[in-house]
Amino acid sequence: MYDAKKLKEIEKSLAAWAKKTLEILDKRPEREERFETLSGIPVERVYTPLSTPESDYMKDLGLPGSYPYTRGVQPTMYRGRLWTMRQYAGFASAEASNKRYKYLLEQGQTGLSVAFDLPTQIGYDSDHPMARGEVGKVGVAIDSLRDMEALFDGIPLSKVSTSMTINAPAAILLAMYVQTAAGQGLDSEKLKGTIQNDILKEYAARGTYIFPPAPSMRIITDIFAFCSGNIPMWNTISISGYHIREAGSTAVQEIAFTLANGIAYVEAALEAGLKIDDFAPRLSFFFNAHLDFFEEIAKFRAARRLWAIIMKERFGAKSPKSLMLRFHTQTAGCTLTAQQPQNNVTRVTLQALAAVLGGTQSLHTNSMDEAFSLPSEEAVQTALRTQQLIAYESGVANTVDPLGGSFYVERMTKEIEESAQTYIDEIDEMGGAVTAVEQGYIQKEIQESAYAYQKAVEEGHRIVVGLNKFQDEEVPPKNLLRVDLGVTESQVAKLKQLKAERDNIAVDSAIGKLKKCAQGSDNLMPPIMEAVKSYATLGEICDALREVFGEYTAVSTL
């Protein structure tokens, strides 16, 4: 970007400045001997045009909405439309969660994000022995289409987009959503939303897997194929770094492992015979917004550039939409402290700001009380207001990629891109992300980073305000949200009633067809749709698939 003569001049001045500065350092040393980002990337005293000497503006950055999308995926970004404010929510019963969704929409939220309870996520009905104690706890319990209908009762699905954090049974919940919309008279072609549907990070970091990798990858590619014909506006997957980061990874590992997983899904789909530009435009991503402000902004920009290059160079995608990395962001839950919880509002503000400056398409801001329990309504409101403040008061949404061109941010973007690429190459050599997970490589890498971070905090190398510095007397918070064990009883009663009222012959026939399909190679979505429509339960459908596919056993890395 600079001519050689100008760079030489800067180099000369910088050398003189460094010499002078070193003299001062003898008398007044800096706070640290070595500065580094949260992920351990060294940070220089100052960045100049010399920090990215090879930089080619049009090649590396380009313009907003153009390859390689470093500056953002849309030409006008938030000047056109703000990011979607989407708070992840769900607890207890469909009825209780429906009330919370209506509250959030009234408060100005612009999209829904459904949290399911663990039995739903792992394919157990609420009356299963493994579900004991877990029903309705971390999300809403959905046993059948009947619960799904109650969940969206009175919410026009033509007007909202809905994101569902569901992975192993994603096909089933998607089928329930389509049926619920049909009940509202809405055609599936008009549906907007996302299913997480990212099984690889479940094996690596989040834990809600059911089936082994091979049939899981088949279900995922079946969903890609089905949606491209039937639900064209649906995001068929949200390839997630969020949970990898929460499990303890660094920023570089977060995007490296996520993009490696992305590559694995693309390869699986190509192998299944799909055409790249038919499914790639509907792939979406999900990242974490952590503490180190500039590192995070650089991470989002690097991820966009890397993915664009991968899709273009490696997979030969032609459609611009295939090259765009669109992503949702959530602030880092693992950074919330139980100590002085009000400080979490400030943490979340900084993290949310980083996500916006990094060009996110949608955002969830955590609530201050989440180190104790699911958030209360009051805490959620503050979290949502934080986004609204950034959007409407701070002015940061008025221009595209405001930090583009910052010597530091550009250098950091480059560095994260290169380090992540090194990891991706390593995973490629191992045989890809599926093999890397099966061998426990990803898990081990994350685990080591997590332990190193914990040690840094305990040794005082990392300051956590209110935890290992500036401590204060702690007062346990009040007004926490509680989900009592009573939800189980009402879900179990509903299941009993459902099984007594539905056409059980139709259910058996649908389940039989599903099993047969699973044994063959036809697309699983049509028989899943039929089973859902017959009011077969989530557990019944998953059991049928368990019978054919078997279950995944985790590798031990400890």
Partner 1 sequence: MPVAKKKIRVLGAKPGLDGHDRGIKVICCALRDAGMEVIYTGLRQTPEQIVQAAIQEGVDVIAMSVLSGAHDYLFPKVMELLKKAGASDILVIGGGIIPEEDVPSLKDVGIQAVFGPGTPTMDIVRFIEENVSQ
What is the contact surface with partner 1 in residues (CB under 8 A)? 118-119, 121-122, 124, 129-134, 137-138, 202, 206-208, 246-248, 334, 336-339, 371-374, 447, 450-451, 454, 458, 464, 467, 476, 480, 482-483, 485, 554, 556, 558
Which residue lies nearer to partner 1 by CB, 109 or 488? Answer: 488
Question: Closer CB to partner 1, residue 500 or residue 558?
Answer: 558
When the beta carbons of 72 and 119 are compared against partner 1, the nearer one is: 119
Distances in whole angstroms, Cα of residue 104 to Cα of each of 90, 111, 447, 452: 11, 9, 36, 38
CB environment 472-503: b (16+ within 10 A), e (fewer): eeeeebeeebebeeebbebbbebbeebeeebe
Residue with Cβ nearer partner 1 (119 or 358):
119
Cβ burial of 222 (10 Å; 0-12, 13-18, 19+) is buried
- C-beta closer to partner 1: residue 429 or 474: 474
Cα distance between the two ends of the chain: 49
Q: Quick one: which of 272, 266, 256, 274 has its CA closest to 430?
A: 256
Q: Specify the residue, 204 or 317, whose C-beta has the smaller distance to partner 1.
A: 204
Nearer to partner 1 by Cβ, of 359 and 375: the residue is 375
Instruction: Report, in Å, the least distance between residue 370 CB and partner 1.
Output: 8
What separation in angstroms does the CA of 424 have from each of 92, 260, 272? Answer: 40, 6, 23
Residue (50 or 465) nearer to partner 1, CB: 465
Nearest alpha carbon to residue 341 among 366, 313, 304: 366
What is the nearest approach in angstroms of partner 1 to the Cβ of residue 287? 18
Six token digits for residue 532: 């859902």
Smallest distance from partner 1 to CB 379, Å: 14
Contacts of 319 (CB under 8 A, 6+ apart): 277, 280, 281
Rounded distance between C-alpha atoms, residue 130 and residue 125, angstroms = 9
Q: How far is the CB of 252 from partner 1 (least distance, A)?
A: 18
Residue with tokens 């950034």: 390
User: What SS3 string covers 71-88?
Assistant: CCCCCCHHHCCCCEECCE
- Shortest spacing between CB 132 and partner 1, in angstroms: 6
The rounded distance, in Å, linking the Cα atoms of 526 and 425 is 37
Question: Shortest gap between Cβ of 344 and partner 1 (angstroms)?
Answer: 11
CB closer to partner 1 out of 131 and 225:
131
What's the closest the beta carbon of residue 53 comes to partner 1, in angstroms? 39
User: Are the CB atoms for 316 and 276 separated by under 8 Å?
Assistant: yes
Q: If DSSP codes are grouped into helix, strand and coil, which group holds residue 431? A: coil
State in angstroms the smallest separation of the CB of 129 from partner 1.
8
Determine the residue type at 277.
D
Contact 485, 133 (CB under 8 A): yes
CB of 372 to partner 1, least distance (A): 5
Q: At its nearest, how many Å lie between partner 1 and the CB of residue 115? A: 11
Minimum distance between the CB of residue 249 and partner 1, rounded to whole angstroms? 10
- Give helix 377-392 / helix 343-357 axis angle, nearest 10°: 40
Nearer to partner 1, 202 or 417 (CB): 202
Spatial separation of the C-alpha atoms in residues 444 and 249, rounded to whole Å: 10
Nearer to partner 1, 50 or 338 (CB): 338
CA distance 24 to 217: 59
